[in-house]
Amino acid sequence: MKKIAPDQGMLYYLISKKRPDLAKTIKKTGMIETVIVGLGGQGTRHAALMQQYGTLITAAIAPGRGGTRLLETIPIYDTMKECLTEHPNIAAASIWRHYSTAKDATIEVIETGIPIVVLITEGIPLRDVRDILVAARKHNTLLIGGNTPGVIFPPEGIKIGMLPDVFYPQEISSESFGPKGVTIISRSGAILYHLSDALASIGIAQNAVLGVGGDGAIGSTFRDLVPLAMEYKNTDLVVVAGEIGGCQEELLAEDIKKNPKKYPKPIVALISGNHAPEGKTMGHAGAIVAPGQAYGTFQSKREAFENAGVPVANSQYDLMKEVQIKLHNITYFNTGNYYKKMKTVWDAPLEKPSWGTIITNVLPNNLILSGYSLQEIIEQKGFLETAYLLVKGEFPDKKTAEEMRKIAVEAATLQIPKVKQFKNEDISKTLVKYLVLDDALAKYPQEGTTGAVKKTMFCLGRTARYLSGVLDTEKALEKLSGNEPFSHIIYRAITGNTIVNEKHCRMIETMIVASVDHGVTPPSAQATIIAASTRTPYEVAVAQGIGVITDVHGGAGAKAAQFFHECIEKSKKEHIDVSQSARILMKEYIEKGKRIEGLGHRVHTKDPRRDVLWNVASQTGVAGEHMKLSKIVSALFEQVRGMNLPINVDGVIGSIVADMDLNPSIAKALFIYGRLAGLSAHYFEEISSQPVMRRINFAEVVYRGKEPRHLM
């Protein structure tokens, strides 16, 4: 069933009463963002349940845990101030802190201007409650609680607190919910479930359920909330669920008598605690009848309501009857649908074990990086921007992009030891040695909300320098001004040229971007994630990932470049057609038991990176006879071997490297360099969102990142 638009529900209405400016933003974005404060056992558990219900939890607050993530996807900040710099449109907060620290946490939230604050914590000292109430009045905050089970808005699919999913909204069709119904406002949380079931059994929808809180002193009383519910156009009736103790009910009844215009809609009351003895607390701190007092008793509350013209139900059956009378026997939904929903909830099988990533969604013939297709990214974004996206989940703005460039360029200008590479030593092994021993990289800070991405940029700069050492192109990095685009530094490190060929520069960067990530299952990602689970240092973990990039994993591009080169050379030398030379060499490879690299893929039948690389190669004028061969190599292989193996990204990169007359080994260097960005993202995701030394089943991974979106 389709939920109502956020700007049609009661929560939006409450927000608009307190922060009209924020309501306008919500109307534009279609999102009501919330924050959870306090991540103990209860806060963490109910954060998951709120999220499952549909609540958009944008962020969480837990001092000392800033930079990590809750439930794998929700960023955690040390303070509300930090949080709002990243997420300025948060409209509601739930507070789950211990009563000893709840005051400071709640006031911090209130002072940031968040309009709706739901204080779950119970037993807060009265002197602390006093300070919280003063702050709430000063900042025009709707404070609900403490000691509240929270609030829930069934038509919107939003709950803030611990109320279960047992409340049912209006149905306006077989496919969508509507906003109308009864609003329940209660001091007790437990009784809400019974009220909901009773009303649902006769087809009465609940458009909102508000738990005012059970402590003796709370933020919003019946007298505050009932008129608000009345003002909301889609509330047809209000059910007030009171209990003995205090004088909330009596004050509400008095206000109804004095200001009837504030209460234009029907009210039905239910009061718990009829048989409670004087002086005994019944569940809540506020539910206690003081001996000899004329208020706070069941009888005093009942008489007050009846004198104000509000019927008081003695049981659920009476409540159902009174509501039906007031609403003229209207029904809001088919009761069969309600029972069907509840049966589905209770009969639901246990969820299969899984864990989440928000970095890359690997789909057949498609790669999604934080919601964006990699094809679009390859066409429109540079390497540093893409690395930033992998780590942070969004592209940087211009100011931030410039800051990241400076970090990477500075890292590339720092001197490195003379790179020594043993004969036949793989480039991956050489890079591992030097990255692990790089003191500058090890000491570079990674704390704070931007620490991870800054360290990634620094590592990319250092690795560019080490690549120049491996390729003996360090002279090309001398006398840098510091104002160069980072793509120029990459070009110099790869080619050794000081004069930058912009088209070739773009092509090299494009191949690197095409290699940045392929999810958590490739060996390089697995090695980094396993290392990160033990909380090994960053440079060690990413070096682990690079270390497993061998000829088996990551070496296909170099071998493909060599194969394409052999085909073209044979064609020229023997004066035969390229297709014929390719078929001859394929047969020779097969007879010798050698693989023809760059063909086939375990996920893709058409590699999503193929066409965009071909297009950029054509646009930059790089495309030549090797790439032309790459476009027909799959068909030739099928003729020779009888197998349909489409060319993959390694094969395309190999052909382009050959057309650029670069050493075939450059293809592997580009793969390693691009993949380093993905390894960095996986490292920081692991340490920020997963428990230490967890047992990792990589087949259980689920993408929980951004929904599909497009670059503008």
pLDDT per residue over 484-499, tens digit each?
Answer: 999 999 999 999 999 9
Nearest to 219 by CA among 100, 61, 60, 107: 107
- The lowest-confidence range among 29-43, 189-203, 554-568, 602-616 is 189-203
Q: What is the mean pLDDT of residues 625-637?
A: 96
User: Does the predicted TM-score (pTM) go above 0.85?
Assistant: yes
**What would the pLDDT profile of 500-529 be if each residue is shown by its tens digit?**
999 999 999 999 999 999 999 999 999 999
Measured between its terminal Cα atoms, the distance across the chain in Å is 31
Q: What is the mean pLDDT of residues 90-111?
A: 97
> Amino acid identity, residue 358?
I
d(CA 156, CA 173): 16
Share of the chain above pLDDT 90, in %: 87
pLDDT value for 345: 81
Three-state SS at 243: strand
Q: How many CA atoms lie within 13 A of 219 on its CB side?
A: 36
Q: What is the mean pLDDT of residues 557-578?
A: 96
Nearest to 462 by CA among 514, 509, 417, 523: 417
Q: Strand ranges (DSSP E) for 52-190?
A: 56-61, 69-70, 74-77, 90-95, 116-119, 142-145, 150-153, 158-161, 170-171, 177-178, 181-186
Is pLDDT above 70 for 288? no
Vertex 20: Cα angle to 86 and 90 (nearest 5):
25
* Catalytic annotation, pick one of 46, 284, 504, 601: 284
How many CB atoms are closer than 10 A to CB 476? 22
Is pLDDT above 70 for 285? no
Nearest to 711 by CA among 396, 377, 387, 463: 377
What DSSP assignment string belongs to 82-103?
A: HHHHH-TTEEEEEE---TTTHH
| Strands 312-313 and 355-357, sheet pairing | unpaired
Compute CA distances 521 → 45, 518, 527, whole Å.
Answer: 29, 8, 10
**481 against 79, higher pLDDT:** 79
Compute CA distances 82 → 63, 67, 104, 112, 118, whole Å.
Answer: 11, 11, 16, 11, 20
Is pLDDT above 70 for 114? yes
Helices (H) and strands (E) in the chain, counts: 29, 21
Total residues belonging to the chain: 712
Whether residue 146 has a cis bond before it, omega within 30° of 0: yes
Is pLDDT above 70 for 425? yes
- The lowest-confidence range among 176-185, 342-351, 612-621 is 342-351
Is pLDDT above 80 for 117? yes
* Residue in the block written with tokens 């279960």: 164
How many CB atoms are closer than 10 A to CB 125? 13
Compute CA distances 682 → 411, 454, 456, whole Å.
Answer: 22, 15, 11
Q: What is the mean pLDDT of residues 604-631?
A: 96
Q: Using the CB atoms, write b or e for 547-573: b if 16+ within 10 Å.
A: bbbeeeebbbbbbbbbbbbbbbebbee
Whether residue 642 has a cis bond before it, omega within 30° of 0: no
pLDDT value for 189: 82
pLDDT value for 294: 61
Nearest to 365 by CA among 5, 160, 607: 607
State the chain's mean pLDDT as an integer: 94
pLDDT band at residue 346 using 50, 70 and 90 as cut-offs: confident
**What would the pLDDT profile of 634-683 be if each residue is shown by its tens digit?**
999 999 999 999 999 999 999 999 999 999 999 999 999 999 999 999 99
pLDDT band at residue 384 using 50, 70 and 90 as cut-offs: very high
d(CA 118, CA 211): 9
Q: Which two tokens stand for residue 181?
A: 């119904």
CATH of region 369-518+535-549+666-703, choose from 1.10.357.10, 3.40.50.10490, 1.10.580.10, 3.40.50.2300: 1.10.580.10
Q: Which two tokens stand for residue 532?
A: 């990160």
d(CA 401, CA 659): 32
pLDDT value for 273: 72
Centroid of chain to Cα 18: 28
| Strands 366-369 and 372-373, sheet pairing | antiparallel
d(CA 300, CA 247): 9
- Alpha-carbon radius of gyration of the chain: 32
Question: 52: which residues sit within 8 A by CB, 6+ positions away?
Answer: none
Is pLDDT above 60 for 283? no
Q: What is the mean pLDDT of residues 285-312?
A: 77
Q: Using the CB atoms, write b or e for 379-413: b if 16+ within 10 Å.
A: bebbbbbbbbbbbbbebbeeebbeebbebbbebbb
d(CA 677, CA 650): 18
Is pLDDT above 60 for 293? no
Q: What is the CATH number of domain 6-346?
A: 3.40.50.261
Indicate the helix (H) or strand (E) that contains 321: helix 316-326
Three-state SS at 187: coil
**Quick one: 303 exposed, middle or buried, by C-beta within 10 A (0-12, 13-18, 19+)?**
middle
Is pLDDT above 80 for 287? no
Catalytic residue list contains 553:
no
Question: 99: which residues sit within 8 A by CB, 6+ positions away?
Answer: 121, 122, 123, 124, 125, 128
Is pLDDT above 70 for 341? yes
Domain ranges of the chain: 6-346, 369-518+535-549+666-703, 556-659
Q: Which two tokens stand for residue 637?
A: 């292989």
* Residue 646 DSSP code: -
**289 against 249, higher pLDDT:** 249
Three-state SS at 240: strand
pLDDT band at residue 278 using 50, 70 and 90 as cut-offs: low
pLDDT band at residue 239 using 50, 70 and 90 as cut-offs: very high
Vertex 30: Cα angle to 37 and 53 (nearest 5):
50
**What would the pLDDT profile of 125-174 be if each residue is shown by its tens digit?**
999 999 999 999 999 999 999 999 999 999 999 999 999 888 999 999 98
pLDDT value for 248: 93
Compute CA distances 657 → 105, 260, 556, 608, whole Å.
Answer: 57, 81, 12, 19
d(CA 429, CA 549): 9
pLDDT band at residue 552 using 50, 70 and 90 as cut-offs: confident
Tell me phi and psi for residue 489, to 5 degrees: -65, -40
d(CA 699, CA 519): 11
CATH architecture of 556-659: Orthogonal Bundle (1.10)
What DSSP assignment string belongs to 128-141?
A: HHHHHHHHHHHTT-
Q: What is the mean pLDDT of residues 295-303?
A: 88
